[in-house]
Amino acid sequence: MGLTYQMKMKIPFDMADMNGHLKLPDVILLSLQVSGMQSIDLGISDKDMLERYNLVWIITDYDIDVVRLPHFAEEITIETEALTYNRLFCYRRFTIFDESGQAIIQMLGTFVLMDRDSRKVHPVEPEIVAPYQSAFSKKLMRGPKYPDLEHATSKDYHVRFYDLDMNGHVNNSKYLDWIFEVMGADFLTQHIPKKIHLKYVREVRPGGMIASSYDLDGLKSNHQIASDGQVNAQALVTWQKLKKEN
């Protein structure tokens, strides 16, 4: 087991959607803040990684389970733990607990190291991950097969200036934003995700347009983000109908 790191917070007004729920893209943003804080705490911040090794952490997959979404003003604890690593992949858990200690969201993220100059994946060196005290394990955690889209509905979105981070890359959370947005307000006020598989395939380039496509079969949707004729991300979402709350 790796070291755990926690952040406690209250959901601010601007992170709540029309249902009063924490916005899904903010779940990713907040989680990455917490793992970033753990790295700083352990003396191996993203900045250190760049300066010492010329390496950047990249996320390739997310696997998200949602029991329920925290609501505005609710106090949550976000916990993260670097679980295991192998030659190429590091697996990290994020768990969101409510005030009673119930795990309401669980995320598994797959991280790889990328050389900043060659833009190629760099093997995970034990020295780099040692501070997290995660275990070496040959076991690969594989995502699902993402089937092709059938009868897809599609919508185009501009890649905006504020979608880009300091490195000129589209923020990870933005893909989830496009994946949800295309479902429309009617659907999103009546459903929340139960399970999300998300795979980042190829980076979206700044400045252009992306197409967010999906097909929906009952409570399962199959998603694709594409630009310039190439797939950027794929996702499979299982939805749950929202019970009316007070």
Task: Enumerate binding residues for a second copy (CB under 8 A).
Answer: 12-14, 16-20, 23, 25, 29, 32-33, 36, 46-47, 72-73, 160-162, 164-166, 168, 171, 173, 177, 180-181, 184-185, 188, 206-207
Longest dimension (CA), the chain: 53
Could you list the beta-strand ranges (E) of 54-208.
55-66, 75-85, 90-97, 103-115, 121-122, 135-136, 153-158, 191-200
Structure tokens given for 246: 């007070």
Residue 20 or 143 with smaller CB distance to a second copy? 20
> Is the CB of 144 or the CB of 168 nearer to a second copy?
168
Shortest distance, position 167 Cβ to a second copy, whole Å: 8
Q: Would you say 12 or 144 has its CB closer to a second copy?
A: 12
Q: What is the nearest approach in angstroms of a second copy to the Cβ of residue 154?
A: 14
Compare residues 10 and 87 and give the one whose CB is closer to a second copy.
10
What are 171's two structure tokens?
């923020």
CB of 180 to a second copy, least distance (A): 7
Question: How far apart, in whole angstroms, are the C-alpha atoms of residue 71 and residue 135?
Answer: 35
Q: What is the token pair recorded at 189?
A: 């006020």
Minimum distance from residue 94 beta carbon to a second copy (Å):
15
CB 194 within 8 A of CB 238: yes
Distance in Å, CB of 131 to a second copy, minimum: 19
Alpha-carbon span 35 to 134, nearest angstrom:
14
Q: Pick the closer one to a second copy by CB: 32 or 146.
A: 32
**Cα 108 off chain centre by:** 9
Given a contact cutoff of 8 angstroms between Cβ atoms, the answer to whether 47 and 56 are in contact is no
